[in-house]
Structures are given as C-alpha cells and as structure tokens.
Amino acid sequence: MTAKRNSPVALIRKTTPFAIRAERASDVVAREALLDACFGDNRHTRTCQRLRDGRAPAAGLSLSAMRNDGRLVGTVRLWHVSAGGRSALMLGPLAVDDDCRGLGVGAALMQRALAVAKARGHGAVILLGDAPYYARYGFTAARTGELSLPGAFERERLLGLELVEGALDGAWGMITPTGAALPESLPKSKASERKAARTRKAPLAVPHAA
C-alpha cells in the first residue's frame, strides 16, 4: 500500500493536471462507474435520487472533470427543484475518483458549478452532504431548517446557499423536482411524437450533453 502510494507512477498520477468541462454523452459509462465506486450499487435508492429520477439536469449544470490523459475523474450535476415553493437547484451527486482526491478537483467542480448557476440567474442551491466539506463554499443549514425531502434524511446534512440574497426566504415544506421530464419517462405515445417532431425539425444528429 505504502509502496504503491510512493511509487513514481502514483506521484505522476497525483500531479497530473485536470480540466473542468460540460458533461458529454460519451462520459456516461465512466461517470456511472465512478458513481458506483463512490456511492455503491444501492445509490439509486437514496432519497435525493427521488428528485432526479426521470428528470433532466439543469441546463449547463452537468460538469465533468477530465484528466489530461482523457480519463473522467470527477462529476457534478445540479437539478431544478421547488424548495418549499422557492425555485432552487439541488446539487448532486458530486464525486471525485479516489485516486485524484485532495488535488482540488472537487473544489474546481464546485466553484465552476456555482459560478455557472449564478451566471444563469439561479437564486439558490441546496444539497444533502457533509457540512464540514460544503461549508467552505458557503453552504449552511441556516435556511433549510423548514425544508423536507421525499424520504429519510439527516437534518444536519440538508444545506443551502443563496446565490441571490433572500432567495430562500420563507422556504418551507417539501423539496420537489421541477426539471424537465426525460423523453424516455414520458408515456410511449408522447415520446414517439416528440421523437418524430425532433426528426422533422432537426434531421442532422446534434451532440447531446446529459
């Protein structure tokens, strides 16, 4: 274990630079593998997943961290929600490859995500996570005490950050998903209507970012 950590290969890996970019459809396999490794096979049963099932992430807010050898080493997504009647984004999952932790990949993903969210006019971000980690980005439980999630959760892990002052004022009640439904989650007839409409309007294949 120690030998591996101190080997030249490990040292090279630890100093390899990375870049943050918009998630691409081609990231899906590596991203799923990373999430399985970080959160385990039962990650789809987690309470926050109820806010993501069948929904598209918020536009421009699915990011990947790429090592310069082309390997995906980090991911974050944000999702539209109603936070007890207040429009907000739910952040998660955030994950960084075990091999690349402590290099600032998580910080780079968080900073880019929050900057993009602010630039796009979003007022607040909510997440379920470790307060000691997320405090460095300004997340606290100060504005989330009256909010609930659709399932079991630990109250002290429900954190919020206002990008616009007062965006979470009066936030009270259930956090519910409000993002666009994914085409495959629509009833079959609607999905095929949409597909036909897309084919009519856009005969050329367009790269799709999840």
Ligand X SMILES: CC(C)(COP(=O)(O)OP(=O)(O)OC[C@H]1O[C@@H](n2cnc3c(N)ncnc32)[C@H](O)[C@@H]1OP(=O)(O)O)[C@@H](O)C(=O)NCCC(=O)NCCS
CA dihedral (119, 97, 44, 146) in degrees, to 10, reads -50
Q: Could you tell me which stretch among 21-29, 40-48, 125-133, 162-170 binds ligand X (CB under 6 A)? A: 125-133
Question: Hey, what are 192's tokens?
Answer: 């095929």
Of the two residues 104 and 150, which places its CB atom closer to ligand X in the complex? 104
Q: How far is the CB of 108 from ligand X (least distance, A)?
A: 7
Q: Does 158 bind ligand X (CB under 6 A)?
A: no
Beta strand 86-96 with 124-128: parallel, antiparallel or unpaired? parallel
Of the two residues 43 and 186, which places its CB atom closer to ligand X in the complex? 43
Residue number closest to ligand X, CB atom: 106
Question: Hey, what are 37's tokens?
Answer: 């490794």
Q: Does 129 bind ligand X (CB under 6 A)?
A: yes
Q: Could you tell me which stretch among 103-111, 180-188, 189-197, 199-207 binds ligand X (CB under 6 A)? A: 103-111
Residue 4 gets which letter from DSSP? H
Question: Hey, what are 107's tokens?
Answer: 């910080």
Q: How far is the C-alpha of 56 from the C-alpha of 158, rounded, in Å? A: 22
Binding site for ligand X (CB under 6 A): 38, 94-96, 101-107, 129-130, 132-133
